[in-house]
Structure 1
């Protein structure tokens, strides 16, 4: 019990919270960027642009079948050999964005394809251009169907930030390792603290998504 009391001192908790803030910051930026790029890639695959869609599809399949850890290594250790030097945070955000964009692209493409083709045909028959029909008719319906899958992927992204500890990103897991590295009696207390913090952040995202889904349906 004493080890728990010592492990949860204000100094250690505040240190963990600093790591949690980095985790949230990296996650938010990566979610925004990956959603933007994922939407673009998903649309390119959906509209089937000659050659381009096939190339994009190959790249997406390639990235989706690579370990995320390998992409972390590439952005941090590989890019400098190509003359591109990124900070630790920029490397982590880049790796997460690359990997998650490929994942989201397939979710978005699948969501769009789940909408009956009659919706697009009806919109075009009423005078809308393809992109107008996509924006005002197809995408709003597809977005509703994609919410659960998107949120699940965003939650995975938040948890995947822990892999960035391999390139020494000072996120939550890295800070916990520093704490229990000083005293091995803190290992279990730190794991419990990590579990609680990750759960709170991920559960909060789930709650927000359900609120948004209900408001959109209302």
Structure 2
């Protein structure tokens, strides 16, 4: 009886509202972090004197910080210096900062996996450095990048649950509210959370496998 009550339409709708927020935060963070991560990864790969080292130091710093600390920073610390975000955009900003650093390392490693002879061969045909990078190096490296990038993006989706600490009304937050009102709903809500997160992550993984298959 408790399980049936826990999955009442009111509770399900409340969970779906949280799921929508989770998906919105995840999608925005994925788009922003992929763009920024790609730029940072390319800058590190290109080894621009001094600049690439500065970028590398910043990336290494962010990668070694807990995501929870970055969420606190964007929501509590940035307003102290005049930069204010609401809860939603604080979560997006924090996830973007963290995931950009992680993705930049994946992209840099993918580019470095291509033998240096590929760059030399491209340059010998009359292509510029950037043309060789765009038409020869990146297409080859991208195939190797897909699995770790997808794995990182799946982690990003699960990491959205950490934003509950700043009361973002996402899936985990809403589930906590439901079982906070009735402790007998704890197990049903955990089952619901597992189901929703599994569906999202599994769908992304299957889509990535099909995309990877098309590349090969």
Instruction: Normalising by structure 1, report the TM-score.
Output: 0.98
SS at match of 1:127: coil
Instruction: Please give the alpha-carbon distance, in whole angstroms, between the structure 1 residues aligned to 2:75 and 2:43.
Output: 29
Give the unaligned 5+ runs of structure 2. none
For residues 79-136 of structure 1, give each alpha carbon's deviation from its aligned partner in whole angstroms, at most 9, with x where no partner exists: 1100111111110000000000000010000000001112111111111111111111
Instruction: Please give the alpha-carbon distance, in whole angstroms, between the structure 1 residues aligned to 2:6 and 2:119.
Output: 59
SS at match of 1:102: helix
Instruction: Please give the alpha-carbon distance, in whole angstroms, between the structure 2 residues aligned to 1:3 and 1:132.
Output: 63
Show the counterpart of 1:107: 106
SS at match of 2:169: coil
Regions of 4+ moved over 6 Å: none
Instruction: Please give the alpha-carbon distance, in whole angstroms, between the structure 2 residues aligned to 1:212 and 1:127.
Output: 32
SS at match of 1:115: coil
Instruction: Please give the alpha-carbon distance, in whole angstroms, between the structure 2 residues aligned to 1:119 and 1:202.
Output: 35
For residues 21-74 of structure 1, give each alpha carbon's deviation from its aligned partner in whole angstroms, at most 9, with x where no partner exists: 110110010011001111111111111111111111111111011110000000
Instruction: Please give the alpha-carbon distance, in whole angstroms, between the structure 1 residues aligned to 2:57 and 2:24.
Output: 31
Which runs of structure 2 are paired with 1:107-126 in the superposition (5 Å)?
107-126=106-125
Instruction: Please give the alpha-carbon distance, in whole angstroms, between the structure 2 residues aligned to 1:135 and 1:7.
Output: 53
Pairwise CA distance, 1:142? 0.6
Pairwise CA distance, 1:150? 0.2
Instruction: Normalising by structure 2, report the TM-score.
Output: 0.99
Which runs of structure 2 are paired with 1:120-135 in the superposition (5 Å)?
120-135=119-134
Show the counterpart of 1:57: 56
Q: Does 1:3 align with 2:9?
A: no
Q: Does 1:168 align with 2:167?
A: yes
Which runs of structure 2 are paired with 1:43-82 in the superposition (5 Å)?
43-82=42-81
For residues 149-193 of structure 1, give each alpha carbon's deviation from its aligned partner in whole angstroms, at most 9, with x where no partner exists: 000000000000000000111100011011101100000000010
Instruction: Please give the alpha-carbon distance, in whole angstroms, between the structure 1 residues aligned to 2:118 and 2:49.
Output: 24
Give the unaligned 5+ runs of structure 1. none
Q: How many residues align?
A: 216
Cα RMSD, aligned residues only: 0.7
